[in-house]
Amino acid sequence: MERSGIAMGIVYLEKERLFKLDTPHTTYIIGIVGEEGFLGHAYYGKTIKDAQGASALMRIYENPFTPDTNARDRLSFMDCFPTEYSGHGVGDYRESSIRVTTKGGYNAVSLAYVSHEIYKGKRKLPGLPATFGSEEEVTTLAIVCEDKAIGLTAVLEYSVFETVDAIARSARILNDSKEAVVLNKVMSGCLDMDNRDFEVITLHGSWARERHMERKQLGHGKFLVSSLRGEGGHQEHQFMALLDKHATQTTGDVYGFHLVYSGNFRMLAEVNQFDSVRVMGGIEPEGFRWLLKPGESFQSPEMIYAYSSQGLGGMSRTFHDLYRNHLIRSPYKDQKRPILINNWEATYFDFDEQKLLDIAKEASKLGIEMLVMDDGWFGNRFDDNRALGDWQVNEEKLKGGLKKLVDGVNVLGMKFGIWFEPEMVSPESKLYREHPDWAIAIPGRTPGLARNQYVLDISRKEVRDYILEMMFKVLHSANISYVKWDMNRPLSDLGSACLQAENQGELYHRYVLGMYEMQERLLAEFPDLLLENCSGGGARFDPGMLYYSPQIWCSDDTDAIERLQIQEGTALIYPLSAMGAHVSVCPNHTVGRNTPFETRGYVALAGTFGYELDITKLTDEDKAMVKLQTAMYHKFNDLVREGDYYRIASYRENHLYDCFQVVSKDKKRSLVFYVQVLNEANKKSRILKLQGLEEGLTYTVKELDMNVADSEDMVKDMQKAFSGELLMNAGLHFERMWGDFRAKVIVLEA
């Protein structure tokens, strides 16, 4: 396949000893240098047709030269060479990609090129989620490097995609020696390049305010974000972007880096004395110690690189397309998700089968398609202090059993979903009384509680088997279409009763591998199941989880105004179709704010769409709005799910209003979401430049109207038509609305 005359894929230029990796609009160049075979980075950026002479970009022809021609300055060379996978303890004093401990107690590692393979397609990473693609869609380069002194081999894999400007990297470490070696650190990817006065964007937050964007100047030294919580967590995210100082949504160079992993991580950028920047990502080395016996191998998670010369928006659309087409596997990937109503904020633990049926009956009349029964249906779970791990239906609450309830919901024409927290156990539970050693703990140390629960040691097969057996029994007992998989506390007190002392440092990673295996087995048993991952809201919103579930609960904060910042940061790298977003009641249960029901619906439309409320208690006016909103979802979800995302304005930046746009792939349809957070006295209305349209097309402009009696009338024709050229270069007029927290959605059709 050709794009703009450039062949996609990977070639090896034997004379130059260069690897040239091409995506539709980018080129990545790797060079082999010197007799020892140093593997260096030469270039990453816009497409280069002819790579001849690119070796000079590694500065190997100037002092200190390569060690085979200038051994006296070997350390100087090592400390400035732009390596593709940095060693440790041999003269490169920047952050290392790998660190080991040999039987003799030594830590040094230096990897040199041995051989390579270029092949069509992409291999699976054993036990780990990763991007995928057919032989027609992906080409992969596997470079074999070796440290002969310790008998260690590293296979560095790079995959490029035929239609997406992304590169997937990973590292597999093999012990070819006769002695065991301890891996203290294994990064997934490393990139060295000149610093161009870069700024850095990361995503930060806390419970109920996840993934807020933060942009700052990148200075000398090391800047990193990481997690030691056993998951990504609410606080940090396994993402980092370097960008030109004046880069915007539409202009400037942006380098995005994202780790496909759901456990402890480290994302780092280091600026050194020569004003070079090293970026790397992988498993957080603190708390990691992996014993690699002779003949064994260790596979790192995958790290995604995405370069854009068209600003942040270009990077976002690259990640969106990559994840939609090459990471999410669910049969729901290209389907509308059922509009669900979750009973959590409606009832918390105080419900029975009649209350749930009452919610379902009212919801079914208004176009809602699935009832999800949240926490509180099992064991003696009357509050959050007990019963986790006892996954048997509480028939005191659900009289007649689960099947009777589900059948009653199905009769109404609705699907049924259910909540689990499979990785946890309560001290007050039958499971803990029988198997206290199944909880993660350190002997002689009182383990910490969070939400009065412990974490199960799912690195152990018998624990995984026991929990899955209970889950499968429940799911086979009734017609259940959806599972919400939750995790409400981080890991601590890391100790496993089944691991030897020399293997205890493997627990964090083995835990994540165990969780992945459980979800893989769940989906193998129930291939048509809609799985939604959750972790106290958005603490486990990461690419690894998208491999198993097409949507993830974005945040426990469902306030529409708070969601503007949460969803902006999330949409920076994730497709809108992945964001669990619901309409809830006011005053909002998290922040106490009152926002119009109409605004709440528009904000939730930019996600999977659903409801988190007691629908039996809504006013007739709000119920009428629900009926219109569900119709709105069906009318526009295909566009939201499949379209290209453009950020027009940011409430995070201007503190007044928010605006973003979704455009169909053929550019003939678009939705523009506008939220006026704060009204201002004596100010002009706004004219905002749209993006992503076709200049030569003429677009009719319409507006959604949720104050009508019939959904057929919800799209109000404004009797206006504009060229795409005018809308993008001059802009679209947005009239001021009366009051705060007001919103509108504009519909463009060519």
pLDDT tens-digit readout, 354-363:
999 999 999 9
- Per the annotation, the verdict on 556 as an active-site residue is yes
pLDDT the model gives residue 718: 78
Q: Which 3 state secondary structure label does DSSP give 372?
A: strand
Q: Which of 147, 192, 390, 486 is catalytic?
A: 486
pLDDT the model gives residue 2: 35
Please state, in angstroms and rounded to a whole number, the distance separating the CA atoms of residues 743 and 601.
10
- Per the annotation, the verdict on 79 as an active-site residue is no
pLDDT tens-digit readout, 5-47:
445 799 999 999 999 999 999 999 999 999 999 999 999 999 9
Residue partners of 626: CB distance under 8 A and separation at least 6:
366, 367, 368, 583, 611, 615, 618
pLDDT tens-digit readout, 721-748:
999 999 999 999 999 999 999 999 999 9
pLDDT the model gives residue 710: 86
Q: Hey, which CATH number is domain 2-326, 3.60.150.10, 2.70.98.60, 3.40.50.150, 3.30.1120.130?
A: 2.70.98.60
Where are the domains positioned within the chain? Answer: 2-326, 340-545, 646-749
Q: Which of 253, 390, 556, 614 is catalytic?
A: 556
Residue partners of 441: CB distance under 8 A and separation at least 6:
447, 454, 493, 495, 497
pLDDT of 248 > 50? The answer is yes
| Topology adopted by domain 340-545 | TIM Barrel (3.20.20)
Which residues lie across from 749 on neighbouring strands?
669, 700
Measuring CA to CA, how many Å separate 700 from each of 169, 482, 745?
Answer: 44, 39, 14
Q: What is the mean pLDDT of residues 302-311?
A: 98
Consecutive H or E run containing 359: helix 353-365
Q: What percent of the chain has pLDDT over 70?
A: 99
Q: Indicate yes or no: pTM above 0.95.
A: yes
pLDDT of 1 > 70? The answer is no
pLDDT the model gives residue 4: 40
Q: What is the mean pLDDT of residues 322-340?
A: 96
pLDDT the model gives residue 8: 72
| Torsion sign over Cα 448, 454, 459, 461 | positive
Q: What is the mean pLDDT of residues 626-633?
A: 96
pLDDT tens-digit readout, 124-135:
999 999 999 999
pLDDT of 524 > 60? The answer is yes
Please state, in angstroms and rounded to a whole number, the distance separating the CA atoms of residues 55 and 406.
65
pLDDT of 395 > 60? The answer is yes
Which residues lie across from 255 on neighbouring strands?
242, 307
Is 191 in contact with 278 (CB distance < 8 Å)? Answer: yes
Cis amide bond preceding 587, omega within 30: yes
Q: What is the 3-state secondary structure (H, E, C) of 200-221?
A: EEEEECCCCCCCEEEEEECCCE
Mean pLDDT estimate for the chain: 96
Q: What is the mean pLDDT of residues 564-578?
A: 98
pLDDT tens-digit readout, 434-486:
999 999 999 999 999 999 999 999 999 999 999 999 999 999 999 999 999 99
573 Rama sector, left if φ>0, alpha if ψ -120 to 50, beta otherwise: alpha
Q: Hey, which CATH number is domain 646-749, 3.40.630.30, 3.40.50.300, 2.60.40.1180, 3.40.718.10?
A: 2.60.40.1180
Please state, in angstroms and rounded to a whole number, the distance separating the CA atoms of residues 148 and 164.
37
69-83, 142-156, 207-221, 700-714, range with the lowest pLDDT: 700-714
pLDDT the model gives residue 45: 97
Tokens representing 121?
């397609």
pLDDT the model gives residue 7: 57
β 181-194/6-7 pair status:
unpaired
pLDDT tens-digit readout, 658-682:
999 999 999 999 999 999 999 999 8
pLDDT the model gives residue 3: 40
pLDDT the model gives residue 719: 77
pLDDT tens-digit readout, 483-520:
999 999 999 999 999 999 999 999 999 999 999 999 99
pLDDT tens-digit readout, 176-231:
999 999 999 999 999 999 999 999 999 999 999 999 999 999 999 999 999 999 99
Q: What is the mean pLDDT of residues 409-416?
A: 98
